[in-house]
Amino acid sequence: MPKSRFETIFKHRESIEDKAKIELAVIKSSLEEEEERLASYNRLQRNSLKGLHQKQIKGAEASEVLLYVSFLNGLSNQIKRQRRIIEETNIKFNRKLEELVEASKKKKIVMKIMEKELEEHLLEELRKEQGFMDEIGISRYNQNKRIERIGD
């Protein structure tokens, strides 16, 4: 099979697609880590609130309650930051996903062109082969006619 004129372009498009896949996987992994971190912060916040509630029921001192409140405020701020990080990572993920889809489309276009080129090449080969077979047929026909004339 002949090498396509578009082979280099196809390989380039394929490498762009592969790179986008890898980058998307890295972003997805990062997103999962950030979401797990947020879940961890939320668990810590729930547990701390339960702990504060229990302390208040048992009659905790004001300084201890202030420590809990201060910690919970800081944790609340950390949760807000974590949510922003997740939003930003989601935006990166969606952009990279769009890049991957675009790269896949471009690669598919080149692949279709290569398939069309191959199909045209095969049709040309079939035409040549048919022409050769026609020549053989004509030669045999003429040869048989000459033999018939000689026999008459």
Domains, in order of start, for the chain: 7-115 (1.10.287.1700)
Distances (CA, A) of 140 to 125, 128, 131: 23, 18, 14
Confidence of residue 107 (pLDDT cuts 50, 70, 90): very high
- Phi and psi based region of residue 132 (left: phi greater than 0; alpha: psi -120 to 50; beta: remaining): alpha
User: Please, which pLDDT band fits residue 152 given cuts at 50, 70 and 90?
Assistant: low
| pLDDT tens, residue by residue, 124-151 | 999 999 999 989 989 888 888 888 887 7
- Are the beta carbons of 101 and 8 closer than 8 angstroms? no
User: Rounded to the nearest 5 degrees, what angle is found at the Cα of 115, between the Cα atoms of 113 and 116?
Assistant: 65
Buried b (16+ CB within 10 A) or exposed e, 118-127: eeeeeeeeee
Model's pTM, two decimal places?
A: 0.71
Based on the number of CB atoms within 10 Å of its own CB, is 46 exposed (0-12), middle (13-18) or buried (19 or more)?
exposed
* Predicted local distance difference test score (pLDDT) of residue 115: 92
pLDDT at residue number 3: 77
Closest Cα to residue 16, out of 102, 82, 79? 102
Question: Side chain identity at 41, as an amino acid letter?
Answer: Y
Cα angle 11, 16, 20 (rounded to 5 degrees) comes to: 145
- Please give the single-letter amino acid code of residue 102: E
Q: How far apart are CA 148 and CA 152, in angstroms?
A: 6
What's the longest Cα–Cα distance across the chain? 132
Over residues 23-70, the pLDDT tens digits come to 999 999 999 999 999 999 999 999 999 998 988 888 888 888 889 899
